[in-house]
Structure 1
Amino acid sequence: MILPSVLDPFFAIARSDPDRPAVVDNGVTVGYGQLARWAGAVADLVAVRGTAGAPPVAVHVHHSVRDIAAVLGVLAAGRGYVPVADGPEGHADRALRALGCRELVATAETGRLPAVDRVLRPHWGPSRAPLREAGQPVRAQDPAYVLFTSGSTGAPRAAAVPHRALHAVLPHLIRRYGAGPGTVALNFHRLDGDTSLEEILPALLTGGLVVLDEDGEADLDRVLTDNEVTLVNLPVDYWHLYTGHLLDTGRALPRSLETVVIGGEAVRADMLERWRRLGADDVVLLNTYGSTETALVTHSAVLAGPGAPADFPDGVPIGRPLPSVRQAVAPGADDPDGPGELLVAGPQLATGYVDDPVRTAARFTGTGPDDTDRWYRTGDLVTEGADGALVFHGRIDHQVKIRGHRVDLLDVEEAVGRLPGVAAVAAAAHTKGDHTVLLAFVVPTPGASGRGTAQESAAALRERLSAAVPGPLVPDRIVAVPALLHTRTGKVDRAATRDRYL
């Protein structure tokens, strides 16, 4: 099946209103016309869509407007891209060799580049080149992008996401995010993760503005306020810490904010309770769920603000599926009436893991044209609430046996997170002799350890927890730490946190 380019609305806006601001990159404004010309220059350099199975084009990303233009250009050429960022020496070279990449778009004048056959260097200065009418039509099944999974639940794998997936999901995200000409979206995530596409494409396909600011993570309040941001997408852990910062300082959310999107991991009830204490009743808090293998977002739920239920008696939901998504819950072998593994199907599925048929077969089941009969096994355990929304109950690989009891790390984190003085928590299993024990790493709230050392306060937390929850949920040790470690996509990395602080 041949599809039009997903970028055609962007090029239409660039032609009709070329001076309209498209991106503000650390104070420098780039209009739709200039951004479209840069994207066109990249597309002209990239070999246009060829035979099926053509390798992706690498984009060397630095979190700048050039990254955005490079990705738009590759997509406009009907090709797929793979982002590569600076990292350990040789890592990017090995990744690109494994994918067979032969072309790379350089987005900076200096710096070491991975070894490829062709380094493409577009002219990044002002341009009056003719604007494209549209992007190159694409085959629905061809890759739009290839991303490496975070590796937080095993070895990273290169998932290829087809063009049809973007066509399926973007119209629904535009509606759910309320994207339009008045949208000002913060590009918080770097382009080596797919959440960045949720921030960039809904805005640029509807005439909105994308903001990049190098202080976005360190000084979010200022960045949101100064740029009058209306839409922000945050990892759950960062959102939770930001909520705590606002409560501790007595500050309110910036007045411009209309929608706060969160995702990447489970939202605990205590996190939602703290958010509601901000009194931001006019701001939509939208929880989203998805994975690299299922293209951006498959489920969403309004947790607070306009349109949100008063409470969630079945637990904080990950939501209902988008119209393009089909879902099934496979009953658990041990408890058919308890949580089961979530399976999803539809055009949003990745085509699989590049050159890894064994892992592809293990996670993608069934066959069929356009993925109608293919299902992706998420590895996530869910139940369906009375209102039809799914409630997350942890991952299959986050369950551990403690003294003969099956314990989910999320249950431990929820119990610890409710204790006063805890800003953030990560639970992990640890082998101690012949036994597996639980550990919890907590980031104290400011001033929480004012009457003693951090570890004395951690010991007091464990004592309080022992009086409140069953024994198997009580960690063998609670360790106070300055910060939790995260994967590159913003998820809490439990194993890395454990290894850092033990």
Structure 2
Amino acid sequence: MTDILDPVAVADGTELLSAADLSLIDGWNATGHHVPTATLPELVQASAAAHPDRPAVRHRGTRLSYAELNERANRLARLLIRGGARRGDIVAMVLPRSVDYIVGALAVVKTGAAYLPVDTGYPVDRITQVLADARPAQVLTTTALADSVHSEARLLVLDEESTLHELAQADPTDPTDADRQLPLTPDNPAYVLYTSGSTGRPKGVVVAHKAITNRLHHMQSEIPLGAGDRLLQKTPAGFDVTVREVFWPLIAGAEIVVADPDGHRDPAYLVETITAESITVCHFVPSGLKVFLQEPEAAGCTSLRHVVCGGEALPAELQAWFASVLEARLLNVYGPTEAAVDVTSMFCPRNPEPGPVLIGRPVWNTRLYVLDEQRRQVPPGVLGELYLAGVQLAEGYLGRPDLTAERFVEDPFVPGERMYRTGDLARWRADGMMEFFGRIDHQVKIRGFRVELDEIESAVLREPEVAQAAVIVREDVPGDQRLVAYLVPAAGAVPDVRRLRERLARELPDYMVPTAFVGLDRLPLTPNEKLDRTALPRPGRAAVRTGRAPRGEAEQLLVELFARFLDLPEDGIGVADDFFALGGNSLLAAQVLGEIRKSTGVRLRLNQAFRTPTVEALAAQLA
């Protein structure tokens, strides 16, 4: 493998690739493969017809066979069609992770509409913003969540008595194109997902059936699922992996086991569920996998055959740790929301080489280009921006033709096709593997979720007491990534950080709310007057305790753990201090609970930490 080179130094204004290099890259991109032309409902209906009595989905006491799942989805699809759902429409789903969520996703695509999953963990303001932008024709929800849905769309509340009566009377047979009034084809949109936006508002990505079915077929070729396989559906609805978790097992005849709504946050719950339900396949983001492997009983998850890992860069040391704990195979995947879930994959070696993470090779019918600023291909070993092309590209951004044209550009190497600018830095290795090197812009990944720092900065700047703001990701403690906001007050103002944090928590998902706020007289600038992010200081450490000191062994233990995991001095933490207000998050909370169990033998659930996040309240739980 060659060293990283500056493409401009390699060639200035001339072609960078030799004929030999071009031949190599063309060979690595020769991913053409026949995939059946079918839509998601056609594929699931074929599974239901082939093995109607096989278990399809379960959650706690609710279990559905393939025939029962298909019939329930058909009945709901009939109600949606009767309510006006048509091809080209969007039907939003504000539903908790449940059997109804699986039924709802299948029902929507049966109508010909695209489904929009909305994470119920989002603040109400965020849900309202997404629904206002997407303008869905209908919204599926429950009585418990209906108050959080503010939309002009028709609301279908699944657990209302009137809806249950209508469902019982509906036709259970598969809807046809005649019922839909328009033919459903693989070119039609299948789903819409919202991601963080650099303009200060989230943006919707529209993905067609042909894009996601290509990836599902390739996934099935990598990890053949079948009778006896159980996939744990645990990914939050706003993350594109949930699309794969729902439809991949259903087209393969495997079973979906649905995790509790907050179960993905709790590694102890995941270990118990994987063991009790004999889960064979599940997905983790690397940060979540790290916390999972810290569970003492994780090695007992012997039913696992495969773990899929994506959403963040996978460190080599985490690969090695995984191999030391579990016998399962680890599949590392990469892909932005703008291409159906994953565009590269690689089975990880059990003894990985040190160095940058590999994201593997392109999946079926997908091409990768590493280009310089003039969009010329650079040789293997040279760093450039990664572009994607092929069948898995999204259709574009919902209602944003300008942004679509900016990010989905003409493919100069295959006439008539498009490619997507990822904003990621990468390079080809000499063996045809792709190496990932991070971002070229202000976009980051936090716990697997894509975050535009500009969106957070825009939200912070809406505070009238803030004149300037900058938000960055810091990793002052290895492996602990945190969002930090730097504020320059308006003239004569003193920003109220507590009020700002509370407002941001109402507007943004929890993973986008900074864990620390630092006041500055001015933002540091480079000689050319641009923000110097490298000069932004580490957040100060509170040195004075503002509340009662700990009393007793339990409170003292918790103060020590809060201090260790939040990188704070013990004498700066009072027993009434809130773990999350001090900068904690769900991953750090899970690690604290793991240490509590090691020290005391007492197992606390993660939802207990969210309900009682102070030292004194958690100490009471321990007692």
> Structure 2 length normalisation: TM-score?
0.62
Alpha-carbon deviation of 1:367?
7.1
Contact 2:94 2:145 in 1 (8 A): no
Amino acid at match of 2:63: T
Aligned length: 435
Say if 1:5 and 1:341 are closer, same or farther in 2 by CA, change over 3 A. same
Distance 1:193 1:93 in 2: 18
Among 190, 215, 226, which residue is 1:180 paired with? 226
Distance 1:228 1:53 in 2: 39
Amino acid at match of 2:132: R
Q: Does 1:260 align with 2:310?
A: no
Q: Does 1:483 align with 2:585?
A: yes
Contact 1:430 1:439 in 2 (8 A): no
Q: Does 1:143 align with 2:199?
A: no
Structure 1: gaps spanning 5 or more residues: 401-408, 418-422, 442-446, 460-479, 487-502
Identify the residue that residue 352 of structure 1 maps to in structure 2: 396
After superposition, residues 125-274 of structure 1 pair within 5 angstroms as 132=173, 136=177, 138-151=184-197, 155-214=201-260, 215-218=263-266, 219-243=269-293, 245-246=294-295, 249=296, 251-274=298-321
Q: What per-residue deviation string (whole Å, max 9, x for no partner) do you get for residues 284-322 of structure 1?
A: 1111111111011101111145xxxx4336632011110
Amino acid at match of 1:295: A
Alpha-carbon deviation of 1:187?
0.5
Distance 2:558 2:141 in 1: 47
Alpha-carbon deviation of 1:138?
2.0
Amino acid at match of 1:95: V
Alpha-carbon deviation of 1:54?
2.9
Further displaced range: 290-299 or 161-170? 161-170
Further displaced range: 432-441 or 17-26? 432-441
Find the residue that maps to 2:393 and give its secondary structure. Answer: coil
Q: Does 1:111 align with 2:146?
A: yes
Identify the residue that residue 361 of structure 1 maps to in structure 2: 405
Q: Which has the higher helix share?
A: 2
Amino acid at match of 2:480: A
Say if 1:59 and 1:52 are closer, same or farther in 2 by CA, change over 3 A. closer
Say if 1:439 and 1:187 are closer, same or farther in 2 by CA, change over 3 A. farther
Say if 1:231 and 1:398 are closer, same or farther in 2 by CA, change over 3 A. same
Say if 1:387 and 1:374 are closer, same or farther in 2 by CA, change over 3 A. same
Alpha-carbon deviation of 1:357?
1.7
Amino acid at match of 1:198: R
Structure 2: gaps spanning 5 or more residues: 1-35, 178-182, 445-471, 488-519, 525-532, 540-556, 570-581, 589-623
Find the residue that maps to 2:365 and give its secondary structure. Answer: coil
Contact 1:294 1:350 in 2 (8 A): yes
Distance 1:397 1:293 in 2: 16
Alpha-carbon deviation of 1:102?
2.2
Alpha-carbon deviation of 1:3?
5.2
Provide the alpha-carbon RMSD of the alignment. 3.9
Identify the residue that residue 285 of structure 1 maps to in structure 2: 330
Identify the residue that residue 444 of structure 1 maps to in structure 2: none
Say if 1:169 and 1:88 are closer, same or farther in 2 by CA, change over 3 A. same
Contact 2:78 2:171 in 1 (8 A): no
> Structure 1 length normalisation: TM-score?
0.75
Q: What per-residue deviation string (whole Å, max 9, x for no partner) do you get for residues 404-431 of structure 1?
A: xxxxx99x85x953xxxxx634476858
Identify the residue that residue 512 of structure 2 maps to in structure 1: none
Identify the residue that residue 352 of structure 2 maps to in structure 1: 311
Distance 2:561 2:74 in 1: 61
Distance 2:383 2:484 in 1: 21
Max radius of gyration: which structure?
A: 2
Find the residue that maps to 1:293 and give its secondary structure. Answer: coil
Identify the residue that residue 424 of structure 2 maps to in structure 1: 380
Among 21, 26, 33, which residue is 2:67 paired with? 33
Contact 1:22 1:210 in 2 (8 A): yes
Alpha-carbon deviation of 1:448?
13
Amino acid at match of 2:215: V
Q: Which has the higher strand share?
A: 1
Identify the residue that residue 404 of structure 1 maps to in structure 2: none
Distance 1:70 1:324 in 2: 29
Say if 1:256 and 1:146 are closer, same or farther in 2 by CA, change over 3 A. same
Q: What per-residue deviation string (whole Å, max 9, x for no partner) do you get for residues 58-106 of structure 1?
A: 2222111111111101111222111234443354344333323222223
Further displaced range: 3-12 or 321-330? 3-12
Find the residue that maps to 1:292 and give its secondary structure. Answer: coil
Identify the residue that residue 97 of structure 1 maps to in structure 2: 132
Identify the residue that residue 23 of structure 1 maps to in structure 2: 57
Find the residue that maps to 2:338 and give its secondary structure. Answer: helix
Say if 1:485 and 1:238 are closer, same or farther in 2 by CA, change over 3 A. closer
Identify the residue that residue 424 of structure 1 maps to in structure 2: 480
After superposition, residues 297-336 of structure 1 pair within 5 angstroms as 297-304=342-349, 310-312=351-353, 315-331=356-372
Among 36, 40, 44, which residue is 2:78 paired with? 44
Distance 1:35 1:452 in 2: 45
Identify the residue that residue 497 of structure 1 maps to in structure 2: none
Identify the residue that residue 396 of structure 1 maps to in structure 2: 440
Distance 1:107 1:47 in 2: 19
